[in-house]
Structure 1
Amino acid sequence: MLKGARGIRRLHRAARGPYRKLIPNQIGLLTASSVLAASALWYSQHTTIHNDAPLPFTPEKKNLEWSGGFPSTQNKTDTLTTLVWGSNRASVLSPLLPGSVTIKKPFAPDWLNDVALRDLALHEDHAACVDARGDVYQWGEGYASRTLEDGPTRTLSGKDIIKLQLSNNRVFALSKSGTIYILDANASKQVLDKPISTWWKFWASPQRLDFAQLTPQTAFGWGEKFTSISAGRDHLLALTSTGRTFSCPINKNANVCGQLGFNAPSLVSPYNVPKSLASSSYDAATSLGPATDRDSQDSDDSGIRFCTTLYEIPILKGVEMAQVTAGARSSFARTPSGKVLAWGANEHGQLGLGTTSISDVITIPSEVVLWPTRSQQATTRCLDVSAGGDLTGYTIERTPANDEATIVELLMCGDGQWGGLGNNVYSSAQVSPLRVKTISGLVEYNDATRRRQSIPLRSISISPTGHVLATLEPVSGDRDVHAWGRNQDYELGNGKKAGVSSPMPVVDASNGRLLLQRKRAREVRDLEGRICARGIEVEQDIAVGCGCSSVYWRLV
């Protein structure tokens, strides 16, 4: 889109130039004026001119070498198109664009045309995704310093991966069979000095990528497997199909706030951590002393084999959980009945424990009482816990007293200095969950049931840097996306740089509301450009990173 009067002047000069060569001087001025007037009239009737509109963004050139050479399908109406916006720092949003580029409004990179993913994860200086075949691809300057002609690199393949989680220097991948793999985020540390080959796989290529598997400390029951993982800054949480909760340290800082949950109620020290923090033996847990003793240990936490054991959280043994979520230094677990336990860092009130707990560190899983001021006859249960950095969101379902209709609401707590609390409040510490009014308690009329019903929240994604994306799922139509919080890198997609303290709809290229769809795709390609599925159900989903956002197509 052209920018204000300057853009009109460019249009005028472009229209005036040729006519000076073809028309005599005596009538050139009059004719040129007519042409300019007609051009301006046509342009004003067909184009909306915004004085503060950004300059148009030029898509990157198609790279046919790494993408398999399939032709561009951008002009096709049924093309699966991924949208990205915000800072491309470290080439995280698009590896084919310079890291200095900032994308102010949703933009569609060509290299993801007709690509549906199983998962997408964006971190500060590296990113990864799982394509439709279950292979992991990595990119970003934190992964490797590469030229703009290089695209994502396939790293972990043949493992049928369904879920990814990233930390500063690790990539965790969960397979469909329940195996958790760990590999380094840096390409130079993934190379094996000597490729591994086994005699029973003599027909296969030798393993050239260095990765490890995380194994549980205790034996699993029949059919039990890991079904979910969530990574914080220094720790990993995992959930099994039977509802057991495990945690694993990523580095020596994994339990500085008690976020591993290894403390028993009788223990005072918050440094009851796996033995991996003290030695190279990973088969037991031990209680270390003060932080000075812990930091003086010689254990090297730079490699992926620092700790390859997942430890069941002792105080949660025998308690079935339906979800685990990790914040930067905090941990959350939700039961099937909708109760929530939280522990770890709490200096910003990110656990949501209210004024009853003023400690900056909670080492014992404690119940979060959601909306204690409500009537005792009303029932409240948590449907989902979302966390990012020091900000937490609780999606709750509330049934008012003497009313059959349920209300779905979003509560936020923690560090909202950028407006991430979503209620026109800028506070660096919100200890009690605060209701996000704009997208809470919404109802619609269902023609099928002839009754009013609540509009549920489909998903919440909170970035480590303080902005939030949320999607609503009305029965009557497509899902719209709302964004709020930090906006210094244009991560809210509104073309402006000021933060927003209340949810605002994200707009698309035509300045209409960005609506997420679900449909049957004509064809789905992997990241090598090969068709891997036809006529398969896909839907759009959201993902956020440090100062950036994305809407991508995901396999249903």
Structure 2
Amino acid sequence: MIGARSLSRSTPRLLHPAQSCRLSTKARPQTRAATHPYAQRRQQHFVRSVATVTALWATATAWQWYNGGTIFREVHAEERVKEQEEPELALEKPRRAATSKEDNRDLISSQHLQVKKSWENPGVYAWGSNVGRVVAPGSSQPYVKTPQRIPFFDGKLLKDIKLDTSFGAAINEKGDLLQWGTAFDKEAMEPVTTLRGQNLIQLAISRDRILALAKSGTVYSIPVSREEQVAGKKPILSSWLPFWGSSPIDVSARIRTPESLGWNERVTNISSGLEHALLLTSSGRVFSMASGSEHYPTRGELGIPGLQWETRPAGAFDLPHEITTLKGFPISNIATGDHHSLVSDAAGRAFSFGDNSAGQLGFEFNPDSSFIDAPSLLPTQKLYSGSGQQASVTNVFAGGKTSFITIETIKPNFSAKAPGRITADTWAFGYGLTGQLGMGRWIHTQNSPMKVPSFSSLFEYDETNDSVIPIRLAYLSVGDKHVAGVMDNVASVNVGRKHTENETNWGRDILFWGNNEFYQIGSGKRNNVSQPTYIEPLDRAAESERTMSMLGLAKQKPEKEMHRFQITPRQNVKIEGRNVSVEQRVECGRGVTAVFSAV
């Protein structure tokens, strides 16, 4: 019995939960330990502790209620640390007080400051590939990722500028030609004046030559290489004034002005691809010529059926020839890609000819013949078939294997009080694998015009005329694989002392898209862009200075504020004490981009 009792006490009994509960509340036997004096004192101590905790809890509750708080939530240590680290929310930082009307305009508008800086600090911003020392002539860095100034051009105004990967060319305010880059001279660390005293106004570049148009209408073909300029034959110019004599040109050049011009007719516009060029005259006639020395055009880009190296007329290989199939169509605009051409006339028609391997002529690709050697009419009216709108081509642009046309349409309205609304559209076709068509897609071949949404069917309110007007495209600058588009939106460049302090200047919107392999878009990134996009202001130092001044943080790092670059339209301003008509212009080249102050 003793052994059995001992075994029963030492071996635990496993009870069902229900049985355990009943035993603990009803049938629990009272043991001797429960009546021991020490146990009674411990129970009393427990009761006093509970009473103390309850009193403290009641006091804390009353204090929280008095301060408008609550304790009915669980607070973890991590949350308390986080709450202590979070700064107080600031919706807007007050800017410093303006000291003048102009200072207030600078503070409230980034665009106003951009316009102001473009007049105060004329020059050239460039970015993109620098393997040929074009965008940064004195530097060996392979890329310039964001716009930076070329110091040589600081404070200078230019008439034109053209850029390639390995050479650059510009016309200064005097009309002289400047050249730089490794293809010009590997030792030159800054632009050098080459052709002087000819009053040049426009440039076009091919693979290895520069075409320069003088104000008189004379066309010059100049080798890119400085060595060839020095060693080659130098022409002698004769004056049309009797007894005035003649003057030699100090560099090797060919004069390529068409000989069959009429009385008072002169060349007014030039454009060049890699191997061919178009010349437009004041009478609306178009001449084409070989513009390079390395290869003769072989893809129909001259627009003269059957014209090849073997069939060319007697004389120099790069003499200009009139495109006779365009007679009767007074041409107003010309454009050239690498190996194709586009023209438009005063009646709103467009013609294309040359290489069509990527659909850049706007026609379906023919595998039996990759080019069209005669100007062919683009069926632009079909683009609006069924809409009742009358379409008219207003301009043409081209570069690389890509083409663009701008079209204005109007839907006739028989009410004299409410004429039809004009709509301005931009269409693109050709090669677009790196996004240069601007349609938000990557297209290898686009052989029919497609509308570019970012530049089509846009309107704005014109406060001056109290009316809604279409937003037209001012112009496109088309490189070989990237593009810049300048909008003809309403700008303001007349704000002065007589205006209120809240009236500001602003420029035109400018967008970039296409290939960005060499950072030629100017975004600081290297990804291709298929949708036209804005970039930050060119003068980022001035923008940072404005931000610091606005926030009163002269010695602190300013918070980043995003503003878009706007290009300044033409305006008469005073520069260095003289009145000058000046504007900013953009130029896209082969892997490079520039914005310059143009007269």
Q: Structure 1 stretch 133-142 or stretch 359-368: which is displaced more?
A: 359-368
- Give the equivalent residue in structure 1 for 2:226: 187
Counterparts in 2 of 1:194 and 1:315: CA distance versus 1, 3 Å: closer
- Give the equivalent residue in structure 2 for 1:261: 303
Alignment of 1:49-198 (within 5 A): 78-98=120-140, 100-147=141-188, 150-192=189-231
RMSD: 3.1
Deviation at 1:370, TM superposition (A): 2.3
Counterparts in 2 of 1:192 and 1:373: CA distance versus 1, 3 Å: closer
Q: TM-score, normalised by structure 2?
A: 0.68
Q: Does 1:398 align with 2:398?
A: no
Contact 2:437 2:514 in 1 (8 A): yes
SS in 1 for 2:380: coil
- Give the equivalent residue in structure 2 for 1:272: 307
SS in 2 for 1:493: coil
Contact 2:296 2:309 in 1 (8 A): no
Residue identity (%) = 28
- Give the equivalent residue in structure 2 for 1:456: 472
Alignment of 1:211-222 (within 5 A): 211-217=253-259, 219-222=260-263
Could you list the runs of 4 or more consecutive aligned residues of structure 1 that deviate by over 6 angstroms after TM superposition?
A: 74-77, 193-205, 355-358
Letter in 1 for 2:144: I
- Give, in whole Å, the separation in 1 of the partners of 2:340 and 2:213: 21
Deviation at 1:523, TM superposition (A): 2.8
Counterparts in 2 of 1:193 and 1:122: CA distance versus 1, 3 Å: closer
Alignment of 1:275-354 (within 5 A): 281-282=314-315, 306-354=316-364
Letter in 2 for 1:404: G
Contact 2:257 2:267 in 1 (8 A): no
- Give the equivalent residue in structure 1 for 2:285: 244
Counterparts in 2 of 1:552 and 1:194: CA distance versus 1, 3 Å: closer
- Give, in whole Å, the separation in 1 of the partners of 2:348 and 2:475: 17
Deviation at 1:87, TM superposition (A): 1.6
- Give the equivalent residue in structure 1 for 2:483: 468
Q: 1:381 aligns with which of 387, 392, 398?
A: 392
Contact 2:158 2:173 in 1 (8 A): yes
Alignment of 1:511-530 (within 5 A): 511-518=562-569, 519-523=571-575
Deviation at 1:252, TM superposition (A): 7.2
- Give, in whole Å, the separation in 1 of the partners of 2:449 and 2:295: 27
Deviation at 1:125, TM superposition (A): 1.1
Cα shift readout 1:54-103 (whole Å, capped 9, x = no counterpart): xxxxxxxxxxxxxxxxxxxx9998121422121222011132222x3422
Contact 1:136 1:161 in 2 (8 A): yes
- Give, in whole Å, the separation in 1 of the partners of 2:311 and 2:135: 35
Contact 1:488 1:497 in 2 (8 A): yes
Cα shift readout 1:511-553 (whole Å, capped 9, x = no counterpart): 41111114434337xxxxxxxx821110001101111111111
Letter in 2 for 1:230: S
Counterparts in 2 of 1:252 and 1:186: CA distance versus 1, 3 Å: closer
Deviation at 1:364, TM superposition (A): 2.0
Counterparts in 2 of 1:476 and 1:152: CA distance versus 1, 3 Å: closer
Q: Structure 1: where are the runs of 5+ without partners?
A: 1-36, 38-44, 47-73, 264-270, 283-305, 525-532
- Give, in whole Å, the separation in 2 of the partners of 1:396 and 1:199: 44
- Give the equivalent residue in structure 1 for 2:592: 548
Contact 1:78 1:521 in 2 (8 A): no
Letter in 2 for 1:106: P
Deviation at 1:212, TM superposition (A): 1.3
SS in 2 for 1:134: coil
Question: Would you tell me which structure has more helix in proportion to its own residues?
Answer: 2
Aligned positions, number = 442
Cα shift readout 1:270-311 (whole Å, capped 9, x = no counterpart): x42477858xx31xxxxxxxxxxxxxxxxxxxxxxx534211
- Give, in whole Å, the separation in 2 of the partners of 1:167 and 1:199: 27
Contact 1:104 1:490 in 2 (8 A): yes
SS in 2 for 1:208: coil
Counterparts in 2 of 1:359 and 1:381: CA distance versus 1, 3 Å: farther
- Give, in whole Å, the separation in 1 of the partners of 2:244 and 2:444: 58
Counterparts in 2 of 1:457 and 1:379: CA distance versus 1, 3 Å: same
Contact 1:123 1:167 in 2 (8 A): no
Letter in 2 for 1:512: H
Alignment of 1:224-235 (within 5 A): 224-235=265-276
- Give the equivalent residue in structure 1 for 2:72: none
Q: Structure 2: where are the runs of 5+ without partners?
A: 1-84, 86-92, 95-115, 414-418, 493-506, 544-561
- Larger CA Rg, structure 1 vs 2: 2
- Give, in whole Å, the separation in 2 of the partners of 1:317 and 1:275: 25
Q: Structure 1 stretch 186-195 or stretch 449-458: which is displaced more?
A: 186-195
- Give the equivalent residue in structure 2 for 1:504: 533
Deviation at 1:138, TM superposition (A): 0.5
- Give, in whole Å, the separation in 2 of the partners of 1:137 and 1:322: 29
- Give, in whole Å, the separation in 2 of the partners of 1:180 and 1:553: 24
Counterparts in 2 of 1:202 and 1:195: CA distance versus 1, 3 Å: farther
Q: TM-score, normalised by structure 1?
A: 0.74
Deviation at 1:134, TM superposition (A): 0.5
Deviation at 1:358, TM superposition (A): 8.7
Contact 2:360 2:401 in 1 (8 A): yes
- Give, in whole Å, the separation in 2 of the partners of 1:441 and 1:199: 52
Contact 1:353 1:369 in 2 (8 A): no
